[in-house]
A and B are shown apart, each in its own frame.
Chain A
Amino acid sequence: MTDLMSGAALTLFPLIGIVIFALIFIAMAVRVIRSPKADSARHGGLPLEEGTLLTSTTNAPERTDA
């Protein structure tokens, strides 16, 4: 393995990295461009939702934490 790797040009390795990155970046760009606006709008608003509040009646055990 060491001999095999040592025989390869070192410039090959960074190029492999750049090509992989370019492919992933293009794929992500496609995903973003083609995603429906309504989906993005709903997903972007998720932090503002917390689930429907059923009740805030206190029936918790005695406070023992900080």
Chain B
Amino acid sequence: MASSTHDSPAATAPAGSGPGATGLESFRYDDAIVRLFAWATVIWGIVAFLAGVFIAIQMAFPAANLGLPFTSFGRLRPLHTNAAIFAFAGNSIFAAIYYSTQRLCKARMWSDKLSRLHFWGWQAIIVSAALTLPLGITQGKEYAELEWPIDLAIAVVWVGFFGVNFFMTLINRRERHMYVALWFYIATIVTVAMLHVFNNIWVPAGIAHLIKNGEMPSPELMMKSYPVYAGVQDALMQWWYGHNAVAFFLTTPFLGLMYYFLPKAAERPVFSYKLSIIHFWSLVFIYIWAGPHHLHYTALPDWASTLGMVFSVMLWMPSWGGMINGLLTLRGAWHKLAADPILKFFVVGVTFYGMSTFEGPMLSIKLVNQLSHYTDWTIAHVHSGALGWNGLMTFGMLYWLMPRLCQTELHSKKLATLHFWLATLGIAVYILSIYGAGITQGLMWRAFDETGRLAYPSFIETVVVLLPMYWIRVIGGTMFMVGALIMLYNFVQTWRSRPDQYDEPIHQAPPLRAPKEDGKKHTLMSGDWHRAWERRPVKFSVFVLIGVAIGGIVEAIPMFLVKSNIPTIATVTPYTPLELAGRDIYIAEGCYNCHSQMIRPLYAETVRYGDYSKPGESIYDHPFQWGSRRIGPDLAREGVTNPNAFWHWQHFENPTLITPGSIMPSYAWMLTSPLNFNDIKGRVDAMAMLGVPYGPLVEGDNAILHAREQAYKVALEIETQGGPAIAETQETKAVALIAYLQRLGTDLYKDPDEVDFEDPFGGFIPATTSTDPIDPDAAATEQTEVSRADD
């Protein structure tokens, strides 16, 4: 593939310019691919910011979703995060990598075809995400929401196109030493591939259904998958992935960017190359361990979350080493800062890196985390990093790159400076208001009055107080977005003044020759062994992989193999088929974005929500649904504290009618959307393949019939409680979701003597052999059968 495009002298330079008497080879850099990624960064960035502002408005004014399912907060929040991380930051790091790798290797990218396949493949993945997430097609794991076909595409594009092209370029480079920015890129490529693969091991429900029954599944079922991990183990894997997505997608490549573009912009070398080496290895080795700090006081075993906390605190040192190295690169050039908007972006970006990497370890300390977790404090922390570090570093790089890529002057330095101030002040307005919201809510949740009762027993009291801060956030986010629009205008104007034909300069460098053997023995104390790795990309990459794998292995293997981590509870049984369908609706609607299902063993939480959550309660949760934010109350014991079916029905229709001041959007459309009962069979089959003991429910249409019976019971309950007639409700998605909510947290309160753990469905025999909707007129005669299922 590469033979026609890589930079052999014959392919890239005029005839006769190959290695001659001087021994130099000629080559051109491929800047066209950098231009594509740079433009994609700008465009997707604006999409991500627009989505962010839109859902920020919904937080303060839920009706802004226009009553449409596709535009509800739960579906669009993953779109916003995926667009910001994988579209905006993703294209940004690709632009940085393609530009700097070629220069640092003194070589064109190995294959132009792979470069283009990477670009168009990545954009296709982004478009797929933009189409599937609003449709509710999601795995329900934060930052890993994309369903299995897109997961496969990501693996192919990342490893097959990007990774191969990058490593072949390193192998064919003309500069002996691999500069430290390349180390960070290596760590990014290797580790993201590892994280993506291990966090996305699933069973596709549609494929399972096709194999077992020979029937073509519905498109909805075909896209559905369940992770092989459940509960505690899934939580560990997810946050091992989630935290390291921050580490190896939003940190290491941006550090590579910093180590290349900051010296370029400052026109002086990095402050301390030695410090950068310590920075790299410490960061890469420590970061991978820190994931469990996202799960403090949850059902995750304490040893794992403590380990995550210790390594998170240790992480502070290398992070600040890198920040200091970045800032001190400007030594002797601080006077340029006043006039140069690029340096302004870089300096404030690196400063935000320092702030975020101080705050991250602080938030990982358990006592701080007690207050901050599930509140907006985490959101403020994330945006300080994403907007301040990733955003400003990207903007700085783009303002440096675009004039060079367009081979002209930047249209307006004043507009760039205006963008800088709008972005910086916008971030400040955003994060300060949301810090205020987070700390306010955290304190209100744990406040007790003088009689020892919760000072704010109603959750809504802790929500309405935040609304002014939510509006201020909208202002901050809008400022940031307007800044990006100004940047777009500036770049379009710059592009319009490009030459008619882009110049493609020819460069020369000597070919890489085998290093001379100095005859010295390489000992541990000499340090020569590492200098040898620095010249060998494959060996270097293998050691990086070992370095990052150690943390994952030491945390994951005990979690999977040590029995005492997850004590089983005899009364915990699998979800019924209807509850499983309801759970899938809960995931599709993104309810986990606003509701946790994890009561921490803290007094204020057990008083508010009930008994704390146990590890054994979520052993059938593929995926776990513990959540990470409480925009609404925790639902872990919803089935115990609020099992009223009609209450939920009304609440879906009009949340503010039930809870005045609620910021939950209306889900009225769910009251009329029909539930696809036939899909339930495939869902149960897939779960059974994962080892969930469904017994006789996997035979024939038993799962469908069981679901219909339970739907009838829920519909009857709604009617009995004063709601619509059974015929209007029993076929709807809302009924399945209500069945799921009624189940939540109830297992602990079952009588162990009445639960047969081996056959929780009591050797289910269908009450009817018909798959038609149950006729309400025949309800009376069928009641006997339903009662039997109750028994």
A-B interaction: yes
**Residues on A close to B: CB < 8 A?**
1-2, 5-6, 8, 10-11, 13-14, 16-17, 20-21, 24-25, 27-35, 39-60, 62-63, 65-66
A35–B561 CA distance with the chains assembled, in angstroms: 43
Tell me if B270 and A44 are in contact (CB < 8 A): yes
Tell me if A66 and B39 are in contact (CB < 8 A): yes
Report B559-585 CB contacts with A as 1/0, cut-off 8 Å: 001111000000000000000000000
Known A46-B175, A47-B263: A58·B501 in contact at CB below 8 Å: yes
Question: Chain A contact residues: over half helix, strand or loop, or mixed?
Answer: helix
**Chain A residues within 8 Å of B174, by CB:** 51
**From B259, which residue of chain A is reached at the shortest CB distance?**
A47
24 CB contacts below 8 A, A to B, read A5-B562, A13-B557, A14-B303, A24-B285, A28-B277, A30-B524, A31-B529, A32-B274, A32-B277, A39-B531, A43-B179, A44-B263, A47-B104, A47-B179, A47-B181, A47-B264, A48-B269, A51-B103, A51-B106, A51-B509, A56-B506, A57-B506, A60-B502, A66-B39
**Chain B residues within 8 Å of A28, by CB:** 277-278, 281-282, 530
What's the least CB distance linking A64 to chain B, in Å? 8
A51–B259 CA distance with the chains assembled, in angstroms: 18
**Chain A residues within 8 Å of B177, by CB:** 42-43, 46
**Which 8 residue pairs spanning A and B have beta carbons closest together?**
A31-B527, A44-B273, A51-B507, A5-B561, A34-B527, A44-B269, A60-B504, A56-B505
**Chain A residues within 8 Å of B303, by CB:** 10-11, 13-14
Tell me if A24 and B281 are in contact (CB < 8 A): yes
A11–B180 CA distance with the chains assembled, in angstroms: 35
A61–B252 CA distance with the chains assembled, in angstroms: 36
Tell me if B525 and A6 are in contact (CB < 8 A): no
Report B267-301 CB contacts with A as 1/0, cut-off 8 Å: 11110111111100110011001000000000001
Known A32-B274, A43-B273: A52·B507 in contact at CB below 8 Å: yes
**Chain B residues within 8 Å of A50, by CB:** 103, 106, 507
A50–B281 CA distance with the chains assembled, in angstroms: 26
Is there a chain A Cβ closer than 8 Å to B678's Cβ? Answer: no
Known A28-B530, A31-B277, A41-B269: A10·B558 in contact at CB below 8 Å: yes
**Chain B residues within 8 Å of A29, by CB:** 278
**Chain A residues within 8 Å of B564, by CB:** 6
**Chain B residues within 8 Å of A56, by CB:** 503, 505-506
Question: Chain B contact residues: over half helix, strand or loop, or mixed?
Answer: helix
A27–B282 CA distance with the chains assembled, in angstroms: 11
The B161-203 residues at the A interface (CB cut-off 8 A) are 174-175, 177, 179-181
**Residues on B close to A: CB < 8 A?**
13-14, 17, 24, 26-27, 32, 35-36, 39, 100, 103-104, 106, 174-175, 177, 179-181, 259-261, 263-264, 267-270, 272-278, 281-282, 285-286, 289, 301, 303, 306-307, 310-311, 495, 500-509, 524-527, 529-531, 547, 550-551, 554-555, 557-558, 561-564
A17–B292 CA distance with the chains assembled, in angstroms: 15
**From A7, which residue of chain B is reached at the shortest CB distance?**
B562
Among A8, A41, A49, the most chain B Cβ lie within 10 Å of the Cβ of: A49
Residue in A11, A14, A53, A59 whose beta carbon sits within 8 Å of that of B507 in the complex? A53
A32–B527 CA distance with the chains assembled, in angstroms: 7
**Chain B residues within 8 Å of A20, by CB:** 550
A41–B274 CA distance with the chains assembled, in angstroms: 9
A23–B549 CA distance with the chains assembled, in angstroms: 16
A51–B508 CA distance with the chains assembled, in angstroms: 6
Residue in A13, A39, A60, A62 whose beta carbon sits within 8 Å of that of B503 in the complex? A60
A14-B310, A66-B36 known, 15 other contacts, Cβ within 8 Å:
A2-B562, A6-B562, A14-B554, A25-B282, A32-B274, A34-B526, A34-B527, A40-B274, A49-B103, A49-B106, A50-B507, A53-B505, A53-B507, A54-B508, A60-B503
Known A52-B507, A54-B26: A17·B554 in contact at CB below 8 Å: yes
**From A27, which residue of chain B is reached at the shortest CB distance?**
B524
Known A30-B524, A30-B525: A54·B260 in contact at CB below 8 Å: no
**From B40, which residue of chain A is reached at the shortest CB distance?**
A66
A33–B264 CA distance with the chains assembled, in angstroms: 26
Tell me if B561 and A2 are in contact (CB < 8 A): yes
A64–B177 CA distance with the chains assembled, in angstroms: 35
Known A30-B524, A65-B36: A59·B273 in contact at CB below 8 Å: no
**Chain A residues within 8 Å of B27, by CB:** 51
A66–B307 CA distance with the chains assembled, in angstroms: 49
Known A28-B281, A31-B277, A35-B527: A5·B557 in contact at CB below 8 Å: yes
Tell me if B550 and A17 are in contact (CB < 8 A): yes
**Chain B residues within 8 Å of A52, by CB:** 24, 507-509
